Amino acid sequence: MSESVARRFSRASESYERGAGLHRHVAARLMEMLPDPMMIGAGRILELGCGTGVLTTLLRKRFPAAFVCAVDIAEGMVRNIQGTNAADDRLHCVVADARTFATLQPFDLVVSSSALHWATPIESAMVNIVRALKPGGRFMAALMVKDTLRELHALRRTIVPDKIPRGRLPPAGEVLDALSAAGLTTESRTEETVRARYRSADDFLRTIHAQGLTGGAVSQAERPLSRSDLVNLVKAYDLAYPELKGGVYASFEVLYLDSWRPFPEDGVSP
């Protein structure tokens, strides 16, 4: 399954930037939560699921003295970000899976924006994040949870009830349980419903497709949607979810997390 996630996002790496408004919003909000640059100094930051570098660019500006390792499972994404940052010797880009990425030098801060919901099961990602963190290190992330694209899923249940997606995004509680089972302590958590506006239902579906969001168990059923299913879905979406200012809306449920790895003497570290 991750191989197909990697392929889908590699293919999406060029078209992705056109529809990246939502991810820019989420990355900017996550940046507001991050520690003061003085606290990181020339320390080490690991970014998981860097994509085309929306968060990476903000990290480089905010923490100029730090070393940033940006990881993504999709080679196309990593090539893209490497190309635009070739002169930056404090940025290292790696093709790797967030669930298995290994390092000999642990990090002061692990961050991730709009990516970890793809790293399933989320428990493996959390266990690996603890391994990558120094004791006392922080893990701060924003990820999509259950109820994301709730309008689209509700319409699919009505219009094509025999083609319901096999998987689902985890509820926030499940992510928090995985975090705590891995040995991380949650400092704070916030949920935000981000309502994104698109020119039309057709534009909405094309945009999320270009972002690689229409593949995988969360969106795909055993049998694919036919052309006429899609036409009916688009028509119904335009009618059911109009935006006041024109176009249609779609909701994304984002969970923001601030957590840290306890010191061994605290007795709770794995």
Ligand X SMILES: C[S@@+](CC[C@H](N)C(=O)[O-])C[C@H]1O[C@@H](n2cnc3c(N)ncnc32)[C@H](O)[C@@H]1O
C-alpha distances (whole Å) from 211 to each of 22, 117, 137 are 11, 14, 31
Q: How far is the CB of 119 from ligand X (least distance, A)?
A: 4
φ and ψ at 246, to 5 degrees? 105, 155
Positions of E strands within 145-206: 185-198
Beta strands 44-48 and 133-144, pairing class = unpaired
**Cα pseudo-dihedral 97, 98, 100, 106, rounded to 10:** 130
Candidates 91-99, 177-185, 192-200, 251-259; binding stretch for ligand X (CB under 6 A): 91-99
The helix (H) or strand (E) run that includes residue 201 is helix 201-210
| Residue of 40, 115, 129, 149 that binds ligand X (CB under 6 A) | 115
Q: Which of 145, 117, 150, 136 is nearest to 48 (CA)?
A: 117
Q: Among residues 88 and 266, whose Cβ is nearest to ligand X?
A: 88
Give whichever of 72 and 160 is closer to ligand X, judged by the CB atom.
72
Q: Half-sphere exposure of 30 toward its Cβ, with a 13 Å CA cutoff?
A: 30
From candidates 66, 74, 145, 182, binder to ligand X by CB under 6 A: 74
Q: Is 139 in the site for ligand X (CB under 6 A)?
A: no
109 touching ligand X, by CB under 6 A: no
- Does 5 interact with ligand X (rule: CB under 6 A)? yes
Q: Does 99 bind ligand X (CB under 6 A)?
A: yes
Q: Which is nearer to ligand X, 40 or 74 (CB)?
A: 74
Stretch that binds ligand X, among 51-59, 181-189, 199-207, 252-260 (CB under 6 A): 51-59
Give the number of other Cβ atoms within 10 Å of residue 107's Cβ: 25
113 is a contact residue toward ligand X (CB under 6 A): yes
Which residues contribute to the site for ligand X (CB under 6 A)? 2, 5, 9, 20, 23, 27, 48-51, 54-55, 71-74, 77, 97-99, 113-115, 118-119
